[in-house]
């Protein structure tokens, strides 16, 4: 009787250990996100993601910053997921809520902006875009600066996690991110 109970228990233990080994092996084969620093931000980018930063992109003012973080397809022709971040001077002294309300006009079928932690957020379909996908837009404004983030990820490839991993490297961007 003892032997008949021992054999199934041994079998269950072997399966448990084997499954644990497979899980550990799969986790070790999945590349971890790597931290990448830019001028104003640091982000954890999963395997395949890359980023590009441009300052002065609109008026030549160095306070302006555009950070594009994305995952391209295998041919490197099109994005599969994209996080576009814009930091601009708050020339009109807009509040986060007012700015989010104003930005909804640039998206089709935009939802009503809602307070979302440190940001005001809404969803919609950007009217002008190089990457055709609906977007989650997050906005925050201080008296001096504005942060607008447009997150597009139709396949759930980690764009929200990339945005959430952002760290400000300057006092202004830390304040805009609320971190």
DSSP codes of every residue in 18-38: HHHHHHHHHHHHSPPPEEEE-
What pLDDT digit, counting tens, does each position of 102-118 carry?
999 999 999 999 999 99
pLDDT at 14 over 70: no
CA–CA gap between residue 168 and residue 2 (Å, rounded)? 63
The answer to which of 32-36, 37-41, 50-54, 94-98 has the lowest mean pLDDT is 32-36
Burial environment of residue 176 by CB neighbours within 10 A (0 to 12, 13 to 18, 19 or more): buried
């Amino acid at each position: 009787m003892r032997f008949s109970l021992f054999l199934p228990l041994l079998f269950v233990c072997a399966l448990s250990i084997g499954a644990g080994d497979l899980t550990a092996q799969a986790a070790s084969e999945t590349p971890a996100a790597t931290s990448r620093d830019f001028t104003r931000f640091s982000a954890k980018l999963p395997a395949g993601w890359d980023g590009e930063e441009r300052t002065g992109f609109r008026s030549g003012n160095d306070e302006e910053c555009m950070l594009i973080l994305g995952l391209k397809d295998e041919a490197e022709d099109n994005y599969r997921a994209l996080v576009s971040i814009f930091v601009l001077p708050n020339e009109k002294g807009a509040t986060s809520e007012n700015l989010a309300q104003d930005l909804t006009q640039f998206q089709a079928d935009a939802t009503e902006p809602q307070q979302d932690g440190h940001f005001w957020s809404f969803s919609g379909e950007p009217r002008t875009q190089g990457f055709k996908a609906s977007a989650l837009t997050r906005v925050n404004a201080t008296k001096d600066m504005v942060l607008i983030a447009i997150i597009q990820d139709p396949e759930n490839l980690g764009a929200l996690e990339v945005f959430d991993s952002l760290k400000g490297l300057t006092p202004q961007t830390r304040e805009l991110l609320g971190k």
